[in-house]
Structure 1
Amino acid sequence: MKPQRILLPLMAAAALSFSGIAAAHGPTETVKENLSRSIPNIPGKSIVAVEVLYPPGGASLPHYHARSAFIYAYVVSGSIASKVDDGPERVYKAGESFHEEPGSHHQVSRNASRTKPAKLLAVFVMDSNEKDLTTHEGSAK
Structure 2
Amino acid sequence: MIARPIIGAAVAALAIATAIPARAHGPGDDVTPHFEQAIPNIPGKTLTAMIVDYPPGGVSAPHSHADSSFIFVYVLSGDIESKANDGPTQVYRAGESWHEPPAANHLVNRNASKTKPAKLLAVFVADSDEKALTTPIE
TM-score by length of 1: 0.90
- Aligned residue runs from structure 1 range 14-29, under 5 A: 14-23=13-22, 24-29=24-29
Distance 1:136 1:127 in 2: 19
Distance 1:38 1:3 in 2: 22
1:96 aligns to what?
Answer: 96
1:58-115: CA deviation from partner (whole Å, max 9, x where unpaired): 0000000111110000000000000000111000000000000010000000000000
Distance 1:37 1:121 in 2: 16
Distance 2:9 2:41 in 1: 18
CA contact (8 A) 1:17 1:133 kept: no
Unaligned runs of 5+ in 1: none
1:125 aligns to what?
Answer: 125
Q: Is 1:40 the counterpart of 2:40 in the alignment?
A: yes
Q: Is 1:86 the counterpart of 2:75 in the alignment?
A: no
TM-score by length of 2: 0.91
Deviation of the 1:4 alpha carbon = 4.2
RMSD: 1.6
Amino acid in the other structure paired with 1:50: M
Aligned length: 137
Unaligned runs of 5+ in 2: none
